[in-house]
C-alpha cells in the first residue's frame, strides 16, 4: 500500500512539472509600477537557426550564451492625467521612451482587462509637434486565456494623424505552438509558453500604398508581466532577417528621490507673466522629461533638457507666448511623476 501511494505521488509530481502553462490577465497583465529592462543582444549565430527550436510539449530552449549589446527600460504608469489621454479613450496604462526626451517623448497607450492586453496607440511629441497613431479598436497583443495550441487572428486598423493622413491595416496571426523550459542569461525558467506571431500590414496614404510583414517569437511565463525573450524577424522581402533579439529582467521601482529629499517641483513666480523659474531634483539626468500641458492633457511644450544634471536643477523658461490661463508643469522620471498647476497672467 505504501509503495502504491509513493508511486502515485511521484506520478503526480511529474505530471505537475510538465503541466501546460496558461497565461491569464491576473498573472500576465502589467501593473502600475512595473519596470522591465530590455537586454538587446548580438544576433550572430541566431539568424539562420530554426527560431526557438522545435514546436511541441516539453521543449528545452537554451539562450544562455546571448551577448548583451544594449539596454532599454520600460516603465508602466497609470494613464490617468497623462498627456494626450483624450486621444486614447479607454486606455488604462501608459509607457514612454525616456531616451528620446532630449527632443520629445514617445508615449504608448495600452488597454487591459480580463480578456486581453492591447495597444490603443502611441503619440510622439518632438519639438512641440504632436503625432498620433491610434486604433479605433485596440490591437490585441495577448489574448486570455492563452495556452498550448491556442490560436487567434486579429485584424485591426490604425489611423495616423500628422503632417499627412495615413491608414494602416494589420492582420496578426498568433499561435501558442510550444511550451517547456527556457534558459537565458538571467536564469532558467520552467512552465514557459512560446508564442509564434506573424503580422502583415498595408500602409496607405494619399499618394502610395506600402506592404510589410514580420514574424516574432515570444516566450512568456505566468507571473512575469512581460516577455522573457523575444526574437523579431523582418520578412518583407521574402527572406527571414533577424532584426532584434532581446531578453528581459524585472527591476524594482526606485524610491521617488524628489519626495525623499523633500524637494518638490517648484515654479516661481506663480502666476507668471514672462519667465517661469523651475527647480527640481534628479537622480538620473538622462531619463527625465519636463513638459507643460493644458488642462485637457494636451502637450503645449517639452522643455529642453539637454543641460540637466544630477541633483538640483534650476531652469528659466519663457511663458511669454502662452495665452493667459491655467496649465500643468510635469516632471516625469522613472522614479516618479510630479505635476504642479501653474497660471499665466499678464
pLDDT band with cut points at 50, 70 and 90 for residue 256: very low
Q: Which pTM was predicted?
A: 0.68
Q: Give yes or no: residues 244 and 261 share one domain.
A: no
Is 12 inside a domain boundary? Answer: no
State residue 1's pLDDT score. Answer: 40
How large a percentage of the chain has pLDDT more than 70?
78
Domain boundary among the residues 225, 251, 277 is at 251
| Residue 189 CB neighbours (<10 A) | 19
Q: Give yes or no: residues 74 and 130 share one domain.
A: yes
- CB-facing half-sphere around the CA of 274: CA atoms within 13 A: 0
105-136 tens-digit pLDDT: 678 999 999 999 999 998 876 555 566 788 98
Least confident window among 67-76, 91-100, 151-160: 91-100
Secondary element (H or E) of residue 214: strand 209-220
Rg (CA), the chain: 23
CA distance 320 to 299: 17
28-47 burial code (b ≥16 CB/10 A, e <16): bbbeeebbbbbbebebeebe
Q: Do the beta carbons of residue 160 and residue 121 sit within 8 Å?
A: no
Q: Do the beta carbons of residue 221 and residue 193 sit within 8 Å?
A: yes
Is 2 inside a domain boundary? Answer: no
State residue 303's pLDDT score. Answer: 79
State residue 153's pLDDT score. Answer: 94
Q: Give yes or no: residues 95 and 217 share one domain.
A: yes
Is 1 inside a domain boundary? Answer: no
The three cell numbers of residue 84 are: 494626450
Domain boundary among the residues 211, 227, 251 is at 251
Which of left, alpha, beta for 127 (phi over 0: left; psi -120 to 50: alpha)? left
CA distance 167 to 165: 7
Domain containing 150: what range? 21-251
Is 240 inside a domain boundary? Answer: yes
Q: Do the beta carbons of residue 84 and residue 328 sit within 8 Å?
A: no
pLDDT band with cut points at 50, 70 and 90 for residue 257: very low
3-state secondary structure of 106: strand
Q: Give yes or no: residues 172 and 317 share one domain.
A: no
Amino acid at each position: 500500500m505504501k509503495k502504491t501511494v509513493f508511486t502515485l505521488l511521484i506520478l503526480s509530481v511529474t505530471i505537475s512539472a510538465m503541466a501546460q502553462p496558461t497565461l491569464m490577465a491576473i498573472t500576465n497583465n502589467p501593473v502600475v509600477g512595473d519596470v522591465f529592462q530590455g537586454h538587446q543582444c548580438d544576433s550572430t549565430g541566431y539568424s539562420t537557426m530554426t527560431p526557438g527550436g522545435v514546436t511541441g510539449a516539453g521543449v528545452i530552449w537554451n539562450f544562455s550564451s546571448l551577448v548583451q549589446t544594449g539596454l532599454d527600460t520600460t516603465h508602466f504608469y497609470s494613464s490617468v492625467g497623462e498627456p494626450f489621454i483624450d486621444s486614447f479613450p479607454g486606455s488604462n496604462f501608459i509607457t514612454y521612451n525616456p531616451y528620446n526626451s532630449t527632443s520629445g517623448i514617445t508615449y504608448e497607450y495600452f488597454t487591459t482587462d480580463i480578456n486581453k492586453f492591447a495597444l490603443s496607440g502611441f503619440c510622439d511629441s518632438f519639438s512641440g509637434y504632436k503625432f498620433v497613431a491610434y486604433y479605433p479598436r485596440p490591437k490585441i497583443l495577448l489574448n486570455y486565456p492563452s495556452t498550448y495550441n491556442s490560436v487567434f487572428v486579429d485584424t485591426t486598423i490604425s489611423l495616423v494623424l500628422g503632417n499627412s493622413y495615413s491608414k494602416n491595416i494589420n492582420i496578426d496571426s498568433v499561435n501558442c505552438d510550444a511550451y517547456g523550459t527556457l534558459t537565458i542569461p538571467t536564469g532558467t525558467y520552467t512552465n514557459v509558453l512560446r508564442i509564434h506571431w506573424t503580422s502583415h500590414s498595408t500602409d496607405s496614404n494619399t499618394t502610395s500604398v506600402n506592404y510589410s510583414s514580420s514574424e516574432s517569437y515570444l516566450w512568456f511565463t505566468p507571473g512575469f508581466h512581460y516577455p522573457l525573450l523575444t526574437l523579431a524577424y523582418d520578412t518583407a522581402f521574402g527572406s527571414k532577417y533577424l532584426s532584434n533579439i532581446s531578453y528581459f529582467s524585472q527591476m524594482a521601482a526606485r524610491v521617488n528621490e524628489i519626495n525623499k529629499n523633500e524637494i518638490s517641483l517648484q515654479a516661481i513666480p506663480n502666476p507668471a507673466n514672462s519667465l517661469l523659474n523651475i527647480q527640481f531634483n534628479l537622480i538620473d539626468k538622462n531619463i527625465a522629461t519636463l513638459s507643460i500641458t493644458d488642462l485637457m492633457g494636451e502637450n503645449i511644450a517639452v522643455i529642453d533638457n539637454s543641460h540637466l544634471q544630477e541633483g538640483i536643477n534650476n531652469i528659466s523658461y519663457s511663458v511669454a507666448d502662452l495665452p493667459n490661463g491655467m496649465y500643468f508643469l510635469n516632471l516625469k522620471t522613472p522614479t516618479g511623476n510630479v505635476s504642479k498647476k501653474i497660471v499665466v497672467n499678464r
